[in-house]
Amino acid sequence: MDRALKRSLGDTPPILADGRRAPDRREISLRWLAGTFLTGVTSSILMGVALFAALDGRQQLAIPAEAYAKAAAPLKAETTKQGSRLIPVQIAPRPTDRKVLDVATLVKDGDQDVVRKQPFAFVKMTLAAAHDIQESYPSFDPLAVMSSDDKDDKEAASPSAGVIYGSDVESEVSLKTEDFPLDGKGYTFAEPMSRDEIEENVRTNGSVLTDGDSQVAALYYVDPQRFAADDGDVGLSTGITAQVVEQNVSTAEPETVTAQSPEFADDIIPVHMTTNVHDALKNSGYPEAQSNAMDEIIASMRGTSALEEGELVRVGLYQKGEQAQIIRISVYHDGSHVVTAAVDDQQRFVAAEEPPMLDAIRTAFNDEPTIATDDDLPKVYDGIYRAALSYGMSQPMTAKVIKLLASSVDFQARLRPTDMLEAFFSVNKETQKADDQSELLYLRARFGDTRVTLYRFQDPEDGSVDYYNQDGQSLKQFLLRKPVPNGIFKSPFGMRRHPILGYMKMHTGVDWAAPTGTPIIAAGDGIVEKAGWDSGGYGNQTLIRHSNGYVSSYNHQSAIAKGVKKGVKVHQGQIIGWVGTTGESTGPHLHYEMIVNGTKVDPLRIRLPGGKSLEGETLVKFEQERKRIDNLLGRGESAEVASNGNG
C-alpha cells in the first residue's frame, strides 16, 4: 500500500464489540436518541429560567401603556441611530394642567336653597403623555360601554353637586323663596322720605348711579353744586359732552369686538426629537396642506426643513371667526432666531425680520411633556383610563366619560399625539380627588378631527340629567343600530333564500349572531308593548314602542329579562333579554327589526333622529349654566371662537 494513503487512513484496527462482534446499530441509535432528548429538556429548562428572569417574575409581557408608565423620565428624549428609529422616553404630565377651584354652588335642601363653596378640579389631559397609576381598571368590554343599569338612572335622577351660583359667597348661605303677596296685606310701609333725606341719598350714591355712560348726579339738567360737599367737588362742566380736539387730529369710535373680529396669535411648538417642519405642524393639529406648504417654505429659505432636538417652531396666526390663516413662521435654535418667513401684500411668503421675542420661547422646554410616536401609543380606551385616574378622577366617573364618548370615538383605535381631554368635576375637600359623591359638569375632547364638548344639565321640567353640547343638543343616540354589542353581523335586510323554508322570502330585519345567553340591550328609551312567545316563528319576542312612531323588535331570545313586561318603561342600554334560537331559527342569534309607522325598515340604513334638544325656557336656563361654566374656565364667547378656529 502506498505510504501516503496509509498515513491518511491510519493503521489502527477497527473497533469490535465483545472483541469480535460488530457494533449493534439499534444500540447506537438508542443512545443517540436518549442523549438528544436529555439535551432538549435541559435547553428548555435553561431558556425558561432565563425568560422568567428577564420578565422579573411576570407571567406576561408588559402592554405598551404599562411600559410607558414604568419608563424613566428625563427632561429630554433619547434617540438611537440604528435604522433612524426614534425611541422617545416620556416624562410626567405638567402639574399646571390640574387646578382646584372653590366654586359657589346652589344645592336644594328641602324647601330651602343652600349656597356653599365646593372644590372643583379643572384638568387638561394629554392622553399620550406618560401617566403613572397604581390602581387597575377594567378591560375594554363593548357591552359595558353601551349598557346602563338602574344605578345609573337613580344617580341621574337625584344629582348632589347642584348648580353653579352666579355670585361668590364667603360662607354657607340659606335661601328660602316664597310667593310675593300681591294684595300687600301684612306689610307696614315706612314713612316717606323728606327732601333733605332724598338729597343726602343722592349725594351719597350719586357716584355709582348711572344712566348709560353718564352719572345720574352729573346730568346736565341737575345743578351739580346742589349735591357738592364744597365748591371744588363738582364742576359746572360735568354734564357737558362736547370734546375739544386739536387741529388736524381725527377721532374714531372705539371698535366693537365681535365673534368675527380679527385676532392675532402665536403658536409655539417645541421639538424634542429629530423631525421636520411638516411632521411638527401635523402632530400639533395643523392640516396636511398647511404643513406641506410651511415645510417647503422653510426648506427653500434654510436649505433644509429638518429640525433638531432643542429647536422650536413659532407660527403666527391670523384668526377671523372660525378661519385661521398662517401669516408667519419662524425657527429658533436654543432660543436664538434662525429664520422667519412672512406673507407680503401679494400673500406670498418672503424672508422677514425676527418678530418680537416672547417669554414662551425661553420657557418652551421647561415642562413640556414628550409624546411617543403613533406606532408606540396605547389604545384610546387605555389612554383615557390612565390619564383620568392619574388626574384624580374616580373609576365610576371615568366609566361615565367612556359612555359619553362612545357614540363619537373608536376606543380600539391608537391614540394620536394631539388627542386630549378637559374635564371639570367636583372633588373631595380632604383628598382633592373625585369620590362617590363627585359629579362631572364639563367635558371637552379632541380625537383627531373629532371634537366633543358637553355640559351637564338637569332639566327642570322632569328632573332628568343629561349632557348637552353648546347648542343644547344631547349626543345620546335616539336608537342604537346594534342591540348586541358583542354580536357579529350575519344577514342583512332584504330578499334572501330562507334557510328553513328554502325559497326566496323578504328578510324584514338584520341578524346579529352571538353565543346563547349573550345580553341584549334596549335600542332606546320606550314602553314595552309585548314581551312573550310569538306563534309566528319569532320565538321569545319583545316589542318596545319609542316616540315618534318607532318600534324596535327583538326575536329568538333564549329568555326575557325579569321585570320586562307589557307597560314597563325601559331605558336605552338596559338589558332586556338574552340571545337564543327559539322559534324558526337555525342557530343562536338576534333577529332585530325596526318598525316606523307600521312599516318594517332597514335598521342599518334608515336615517334616525338625533338625541334630545332643549327648547324654550329650558334652553335659556341651560345657556345660563353653560356660560357660568365657560366663565369659570376662562372660555367665554371670544375664547371659544378662537379655540374653534385653531381646531
Write the CATH number for 306: 3.10.450
Residue 89 pLDDT more than 50? no
Residue 339 pLDDT more than 90? yes
Residue 231 pLDDT more than 80? no
404 and 295 in a single domain? The answer is no
CA distances from 52 to 48, 69, 145 (A): 6, 21, 36
Spatial contact of 125 and 107, defined as CB atoms under 8 Å apart: no
- Residue 236 is predicted with a pLDDT of 46
152 and 299 in a single domain? The answer is no
Residue 68 pLDDT more than 80? no
- Residue 582 is predicted with a pLDDT of 92
- Which residue pairs, CB below 8 angstroms and at least 24 apart, start in 301-305? 301/339, 301/341, 301/351, 302/331, 302/338, 302/339, 305/276, 305/277, 305/278
Q: Which of 9, 35, 61 is the last residue of a domain?
A: 61
- Residue 11 is predicted with a pLDDT of 57
160 and 262 in a single domain? The answer is yes
- Residue 63 is predicted with a pLDDT of 41
- Residue 237 is predicted with a pLDDT of 45
Write the DSSP symbol of residue 217. G
Residue 302 pLDDT more than 70? yes
Residue 589 lies in a domain: yes
Stretch 18-36: mean pLDDT: 62
Q: Which residue has the higher pLDDT, 124 or 19?
A: 124
Residue 542 CB neighbour total at 10 angstroms: 26
107 and 44 in a single domain? The answer is no
Spatial contact of 312 and 332, defined as CB atoms under 8 Å apart: yes
88 and 117 in a single domain? The answer is yes
Residue 236 lies in a domain: no
Residue 134 lies in a domain: yes
- Residue 321 is predicted with a pLDDT of 58
325 and 385 in a single domain? The answer is no
Distance between CA atoms of residues 643 and 507, nearest Å: 48
- Per-residue cell: 259: 365673534
Distance between CA atoms of residues 309 and 315, nearest Å: 18
Percent of the chain having pLDDT more than 70? 65
Q: How confident is the model at residue 606 (pLDDT cuts 50, 70, 90)?
A: confident
Which of 167-171, 176-180, 449-453 has the highest mean predicted lDDT (pLDDT)? 449-453
- Residue 541 is predicted with a pLDDT of 94
Read off the pLDDT of residues 389-408 as tens digits, 9 standing for 90 and up. Answer: 988 899 999 999 988 888 77
354 and 386 in a single domain? The answer is no
Residue 528 pLDDT more than 50? yes
Grouping H, G, I as helix, E, B as strand and the rest as coil, residue 608 is coil
386 and 500 in a single domain? The answer is no
Residue 82 lies in a domain: yes
CATH of the domain at 463: 3.10.450.350
Q: Which domain holds residue 295?
A: 273-362
Grouping H, G, I as helix, E, B as strand and the rest as coil, residue 306 is strand
For the chain, give the mean pLDDT: 74
pTM of the predicted protein model: 0.51
Task: State how many domains the chain has.
Answer: 4
Residue 149 pLDDT more than 70? no
Give rounded-to-5 percent helix, strand, coil for the chain. 25, 30, 45
Taking each helix axis from N to C end, the angle separating 380-390 and 395-405, rounded to the nearest 10 degrees, works out to 140
Ranking 127-141, 146-160, 181-195 by mean pLDDT, the lowest is: 146-160
Q: Which of 362, 387, 406 is the last residue of a domain?
A: 362
88 and 154 in a single domain? The answer is yes
Distance between CA atoms of residues 107 and 317, nearest Å: 44
336 and 444 in a single domain? The answer is no
- Per-residue cell: 9: 487512513
Residue 181 pLDDT more than 90? no
322 and 347 in a single domain? The answer is yes
421 and 555 in a single domain? The answer is no
DSSP string, 56-111: TT-SSPPPHHHHHHHS---SS-----GGG-------PPPGGGEEEEEEEEEEEETT
